[in-house]
Amino acid sequence: MSLTPIDPAGRVEDVSLHEAAERYGTPLYVYSAATVRQNIKEMSQAFAGLSHKIHYSVKANSNLAILQLCKEAGCGFDIVSGGELVRVLRAGGTPQDIIFSGVGKTTEEIDLALKLGIACFNVESDQELHRIKQRAQMLDKVAPVSIRVNPDVDAQTHPYISTGLRENKFGVSPEAAEKLYAEAHANKFLQVMGIDCHIGSQIGTADPLVDALYRILELVDRLEAAGIPLEHIDLGGGMGITYSDEEPLDLGEYGARVQQAMAARSQQIFLEPGRSIVANAGILLTHVEYIKPGINSVDPGASHDAPAPNFAVVDAAMNDLIRPALYQAWHNITNVAPEHDEPIKMWNVVGPVCESGDFLGKQRPLSIKQDDLLAVGSAGAYGMVQASNYNSRPRAAEVLIDGSQMYLVRRRESIEDLLQLEAIVGN
């Protein structure tokens, strides 16, 4: 998994990014189909020694064309809402490809999933199990369920994306899970399928993931002893990638250690990767609108720790990519094949939104001129899906590149699109 799909000539696969920006405008999300396919292949190879199924986590990038690629590469899907369910079907997925995670499934979402016949609900609380049971009874269906267990393992990642600790809202304790399994097993409207956990995102080493698996296996043994067999063990997603110079999760090591832990066991392994499939397959292209040199203090008494930054004001903003503002995330920023040799300076690359938190990167050594085209890297995951219309900014367009082909897979929103759902009062 490489950091960026861009080659030194400013191309993704066989398409020039300058051409993409000219044709579709900026800000523009660009995805490489070959990279998505390659990432799925690498994950699959790492687990080749085990019976396994990859359920791509739709929340990372839910564009229909990305889902279509995942489906074609043999993935199922991990969803967290009715909206994601409909997207998967629209992209060619089947209900049997779908597992449904999330702490707050509504009655409507549960009914939709039951009627369609999804593969499994990952249940996150006793009240949710009861609701699923009631709805299944009402609709005369049998609901396939797994319980999401919170193994209380520290994933050593950003607190906002850590999910497997006691203090997080996700899953239930192994003890509580045991009771829920007994209940589900005894109920004819519920069918126990497996067990599930997901301890967090952007995890850099296999240790916490493998620790979680061993804790889950203790419970699997107790359930089997109680006559409750399971068909699958879902380890969730969370595989870390390289944003700057961090080591990505070693998938080969993870796969080998899972295989070791699963020796002499029959369950199929489910995985729910999101970021590791799409993050480094995507970039956000943005145009430099203005450059503003740093303001040197006129007050001789003023003391500043660092020289005033230079600002490159670009046409992408926190509403397009919120990760830097929300998680202090670092995304690689490069100038796409510039045709000048401006001296390298330190830049804060900022958007037009009226907040100081609106930046894409700070203190970046770059050679920049007005009207350059910049590429923000590792933007394929949790980029467009977390975009908003803040400051009444239409959301970016998205293109998918496959070899020499470039497909517009989401057109740019217009101001009219934004206003369509609103009304003024009276008249």
Binding site for ligand LLP (CB under 6 A): 57, 60, 78, 101, 161, 163, 198, 201-202, 236-239, 272-276, 323, 327, 382
Q: Does 354 qualify as catalytic in the annotation?
A: yes
Nearer to ligand LLP, 28 or 384 (CB): 384
Cα separation, 14 vs 6, in Å, equals: 10
Please report where in the chains the tokens 């993050």 appear, as a residue. 279
Query: Smallest Cα–Cα separation from 57: which of 401, 389, 382?
Result: 382
Q: Kindly state the smallest distance separating residue 265's Cβ from ligand LLP, in Å.
A: 22
Task: State both tokens at 33.
Answer: 């189909």
C-alpha distance from residue 269 to each of 55, 108, 146, 235, 265 (Å): 10, 29, 13, 7, 10
Q: Kindly state the smallest distance separating residue 212's Cβ from ligand LLP, in Å.
A: 13
* DSSP letter (8 states) at residue 97: G
Q: Kindly state the smallest distance separating residue 151's Cβ from ligand LLP, in Å.
A: 13
Q: Kindly state the smallest distance separating residue 134's Cβ from ligand LLP, in Å.
A: 24
- Cβ neighbours for 270, distance < 8 A, ≥ 6 positions apart: 52, 53, 55, 99, 194, 196, 232, 233, 234, 235
* DSSP letter (8 states) at residue 3: S
C-alpha distance from residue 319 to each of 202, 267, 278 (Å): 22, 42, 20
With residue 112 as reference, give the H or E element that holds it: helix 107-116
Q: Kindly state the smallest distance separating residue 161's Cβ from ligand LLP, in Å.
A: 5
Nearer to ligand LLP, 204 or 238 (CB): 238
Q: Quick check: helix, strand or coil at residue 115?
A: helix
- In the chain, the largest separation of any two C-alpha atoms, in whole Å, equals 79
C-alpha distance from residue 307 to each of 294, 297, 303, 347 (Å): 8, 9, 10, 11
CA 409 to chain centre: 18
Other Cβ atoms less than 10 A from the Cβ of 219: the count is 21
Q: Kindly state the smallest distance separating residue 101's Cβ from ligand LLP, in Å.
A: 4
Cα separation, 132 vs 129, in Å, equals: 5
Angle at 143 between CA 94 and CA 117, to 5 degrees: 20
What is the residue type of 187? Answer: N
CB 202 within 8 A of CB 241: yes
Nearer to ligand LLP, 99 or 143 (CB): 99
Q: Kindly state the smallest distance separating residue 81's Cβ from ligand LLP, in Å.
A: 12
Rounded to 10 degrees, what is the CA torsion of 85, 88, 94, 98?
Answer: -60
Q: Kindly state the smallest distance separating residue 88's Cβ from ligand LLP, in Å.
A: 14
* DSSP letter (8 states) at residue 320: T
The residues annotated as belonging to the active site are 354
